[in-house]
Amino acid sequence: MIGLVDGNNFFVSCERVFNRRLVGRPVAVLSNNDGCCVSRSNEFKALGIPMGTPYFQLKGREATGELSFCSSNYELYGDLSNRIVSILREEAVDVEQYSIDEAFITPPSLEALGNGERGTAAITTVPHSPFPIPRSPYLAYGRRLRSKILRWVGIPCGVGFAPTKTLAKLANHIAKKRPDGVFLMPDDPTEILAALPTREVWGVGRHLPAKLRAARILTARHLRDAPDDTIRAVGGVTLLRTAMELRGVPCCEERDYDAAPDTVSCSRSFGTPATTCEAIEESIASFAAQAAAKLRRHGLLAAGCNIYAQVFASGGGGDFVDRTVVFPVPTDATNEMLRAFRPEMSALFTPGLRYRKTGVVFFGLEKPGTPQQADLFDASPPPERSRLYKAVDALNARYGKGKVFSAAEGIGPRPWQMKRSKLSKRSTTRWDELMTVR
């Protein structure tokens, strides 16, 4: 059995934990630079405002008090997500975090949950539910898990159980519409699959539904029951795996989301287009420092870095200019990285152009102690890993992100920083932004 725990309207729910005035109101969280709606409360959805609606189109309704908006507070969302995962690791046999607001879990066995029977228990009808609900210890377990997350973190979740990940996603979708927020997929989900369009199936994507309609595959049930050759002809082996999952056969490969990454990157769109070389250099230095901190958290060194800038163009898009730098030796020290690619920064800037974005990508990641090819003509001893950035990371963890930084990141106003005019307090990670009780 596989469970999926998914936070309801996660970004909005995080904002409501510390701002109770938002509860019951139409609220949306905005994307980077307060661009468009990326998370909506149920009240906001009920007004018929679609995901991705630009903020400027809704400013008038905000001014009248009809709608409320928040800037993306990723530091808060990430911390609350970690707290939820910590609870899941205590309550589940295994946890596979899929995204910031979703995690697949392996629940305890039926024996551990207090039922020695195998399989699903009898079917019963639950009021206000369009589908028959099986009676099972998994339902009680899901309710207990959901209640604990709500009580300890303040985030409402949906919990769905099924034999495969694809069916668990569907079960979670149904759970979110139920009063108790929990749903167990019955042994025969035919009725449920028959009511679900293929576009709602996890893994189908945006482009396949048209091809599936041409093959007269309109619902999840049609996809499940279609011949393998037909499915493979439409969407290849990937779509066939999805169909097998709908049949109850686990086919999704397990991914280790805690494994060391192949690359580490950091980039942001500017709040205001940059027009000076200084702004380009400061932004790249800042993003390099953030990416280097990620490297150190993973215990990795980088062999090189790609730095880039995107030219501003009306209507979106814009050309990219980039440079690649290989470090003398793999490193995780921000100062060594800045020293290596500083000579290349000026090549990214052309006077008279406006820039909308910069970023860095570290590649060639490896663990410290990996054997290196030495330079035959370099008589200097190999550099020791500096304790400087261990101290920097510890200070920033204790006193708040960015409290200690390189002067290359700029010590004055940073107009290139991401625009977040409606940013809420980071109440769980910043000492100076703790809630005040009066």
Residue 68: per-residue pLDDT: 95
- The Cα 301–Cα 332 span in angstroms is 5
Residue 255: what pLDDT? 67
Tokens describing residue 322:
């980039």
Count Cα neighbours of 287 within 13 Å in the Cβ-side half-sphere.
Answer: 28
CA dihedral (153, 155, 160, 166) positive or negative = negative
Q: Which helix (H) or strand (E) holds 279?
A: helix 277-298
Which ranges of the chain have pLDDT less than 50?
116-128
DSSP single-letter state for residue 416: T
Is 0.85 surpassed by the pTM of this model? no
* Domain spans, the chain: 7-76, 196-257, 264-371+385-393+405-423
Whole-number Å distance between alpha carbons of 135 and 186: 10
Instruction: Give pLDDT, residue 381.
Output: 52
pLDDT at 131: 53
One-letter amino acid of 315: G
pLDDT of residue 122: 43
Q: Determine the Cα–Cα distance for residues 245 and 215; give it in Å rounded to an integer.
A: 20
What is the token pair recorded at 366?
């490896």
Closest CA to 333 of 296, 308, 365, 297: 296
Q: What class has domain 264-371+385-393+405-423?
A: alpha beta
What backbone torsions phi and psi does residue 94 show, to the nearest 5 degrees? -145, 150
Q: Give domain 7-76's CATH architecture.
A: 3-Layer(aba) Sandwich (3.40)
What pLDDT was estimated at residue 385? 57
Residue 105, Cβ density class (10 Å: 0-12 exposed, 13-18 middle, ≥19 buried): buried
How many Cβ atoms are within 10 Å of 119's Cβ, its own excluded? Answer: 8
pLDDT in tens, 24-39: 999 999 998 898 999 9
- Give the CATH H-level superfamily of domain 196-257: 5' to 3' exonuclease, C-terminal subdomain (1.10.150.20)
- pLDDT at position 412 is 77
Sheet containing strand 302-311, edge to edge, reads 264-274, 355-363, 302-311, 320-331
Q: Where are the beta strands (DSSP E) in 112-162?
A: 123-124, 133-134, 157-162
* pLDDT the model gives residue 378: 57
